[in-house]
Chain A
Amino acid sequence: MADVHFLSGNEAITVIRSRINEPTANRWTDVELTRWLDRGARNISAITLCNMTSEEITIVANTMRYTLSNKYIKIESVNFDIDTGADDTHKGLARMNVQGIGQLFNPADIAVAANVLEYYFIWGDYIYLWPPPTAALVTAGKPTVFGYTVVENYSADYTAVASNLLPNYLCPVAVDYAVACAYTKIGKHSLAALNMQRYMSSVSFHRSNVYGETNRVDTYDMTKMPDRTVVQSR
């Protein structure tokens, strides 16, 4: 699919050089521009939560704290697939607030016969699962964590669009970030502010529109159709 947003790393550098009117390196080196482009990419993924990641956790009997291999900014959900043969059980775990665990972790809970995982919370680079799994549950399946991490840089290979680490629609936003940094360097602070404002607006839109704390699903009201059974009187 052809798209004007598709910019390889090298193409993005060319676009930045065009914006700052310096086709060949003079005041700004390619090393600087690349670093700012990479910083922009990391910042975009940190704020818009665009880099979705998941991993499976190998649970251990009677253990509730597990180290996560990825450094998540935020965890969105945890699912648990229990292999029971032909018809597996798929279950979502409920997220709870760490400060609320006092109300939940009652010694009696651990005696729950099935010990199907019910709750989770995140603390640092750990995930806590409750109730602690039984030995039988360990062999039945693995919980999967879904969350957001930060990309390492703009692209794994600056010559190839396919190696971009950001979603393509966010690539031009990283260009704005780099241009703002470039103008800061030469003391054109108004132009730096202009480009940074453009950058901030873009990441804010993407954060709230796509991955924000707004309604995750359409509300009932939103899908109501107008009542056409009542005929308007003239």
Chain B
Amino acid sequence: MTSITEATLYSDIRSMLNEPTPLIWTNTELLAWIDQAARIIGAVTLSRELTVDDAIISTTGPTVEQTAYALLDSSIEEAPLIDAIIYYGSTTNTASVHTSALIKVHPRVFDNVVDDTEDYPKFWTVINETVYIWPPPKSTINDHVFQILYHDNVDEYFLAATTYYLRDELQEYVIWYAVAKAFEKVGKYAQSEQYMSIFNSFISFHRQDRLPKPVDSLEMMNVPDRTQMVQ
């Protein structure tokens, strides 16, 4: 599926508002509503799943004995959710003999740490834009790659000329949001609510599909027992 361009978005919204050229609603207003919608969709569906290598720990990888690392990437600093950290055990993101994922722990777990022997890090937590890893890294793992998996914020609809923050299947929903806001502007509050509820319904579906979910339960995969004869 191809992305919906800026021109198509304006055209679609204006078509539904029956205002082909700006009269009541300016393109500046439409763009503001498009960006608002993109931020809401990103926050609700957590659709922007990104990875970054190394930068979370330092520009050159971990430092021996150092457990606290400020998040260097500004987008991760404000990320709504950090999901996992993978340690590659090498200076590239190719799996090595020590590849592992670190276990996320509650910050209070570190209260009870009594051993400060350097080793391969096993645990991580995040407080105040700082990642803590434990045990402290030993000298042999300098420059090794740590990869963070996180949900990023959506800042606006257009990331660049032809790239977009939202995934393709989510892009058309900004049209419904913009139409709702447009009717709000002209005092048609019932119509505004009508189209806002359509917007909310659509993104609810995607929230269900994209949010982290538990793995399938054993029961879900149970098949009928055919060893038993039907009486």
CB within 8 Å of B: which residues of A? 32, 35, 39, 42-43, 46-47, 49, 62-65, 71, 73-74, 94-107, 109-111, 123-124, 126, 132, 149-152, 181, 184-187, 189, 192-193, 196, 200, 207, 213, 215-220, 222-225, 227-229
Contact = CB atoms under 8 A, between A and B. Distances in A.
Nearest to A101: B101
Contacts of B120: 107
Contacts of A46: 169, 205-206
B94 interface: yes
A144 B223 CA distance: 23
A151 B205 contact: no
A217 B222 contact: yes
Contacts of A101: 84, 86, 101
B198 interface: yes
A95 B215 contact: yes
5 contacts: A42-B169, A102-B101, A107-B100, A109-B100, A150-B168
B64 interface: no
A229 B51 contact: no
Contacts of B98: 107, 110
A228 B231 contact: yes
A42 B172 contact: yes
Interface string B14-48: 01111000000000000000000000000000001
Contact of A98 (B194, B212, B222, B223): B212
A100 B167 CA distance: 25
Contact of A73 (B101, B198, B209, B224): B209
A99 B81 CA distance: 11
Contacts of B94: 62-63
Contact of B209 (A74, A104, A222): A74
A142 B103 CA distance: 30
Q: Across chains A and B, which 5 residue pairs bring their CB atoms closest together, nearest first? A: A105-B101, A102-B103, A132-B95, A124-B49, A101-B101
Given A98-B149, A149-B1, 8 more contacts: A97-B213, A102-B102, A104-B101, A109-B100, A110-B96, A124-B48, A152-B2, A218-B224
A102 B205 CA distance: 29
Given A35-B12, A98-B84, A207 B231 contact: no
Nearest to B188: A189
Interface string B74-107: 0000000001111001000111111111111000
A124 B50 contact: yes
B164 to A, nearest CB: 12
Nearest to B224: A223
Given A106-B100, A107-B98, A124-B50, A229 B212 contact: no
B201 interface: yes
B103 to A, nearest CB: 4
A153 to B, nearest CB: 9
B100 A99 contact: no
B230 interface: yes
Contacts of A42: 1, 169, 172
Contact of B169 (A150, A185, A219): A150
A99 B95 contact: no
Given A62-B95, A184-B179, A94 B231 contact: no
B230 A225 contact: yes
B66 interface: no
A185 B16 contact: yes
Given A219-B222, A220-B225, A107 B99 contact: yes
B99 to A, nearest CB: 6
A102 B121 CA distance: 11
A123 B150 CA distance: 9
A150 to B, nearest CB: 4
Contacts of A104: 101
Contacts of B194: 189, 192-193
A216 B221 contact: yes
A227 B220 CA distance: 26
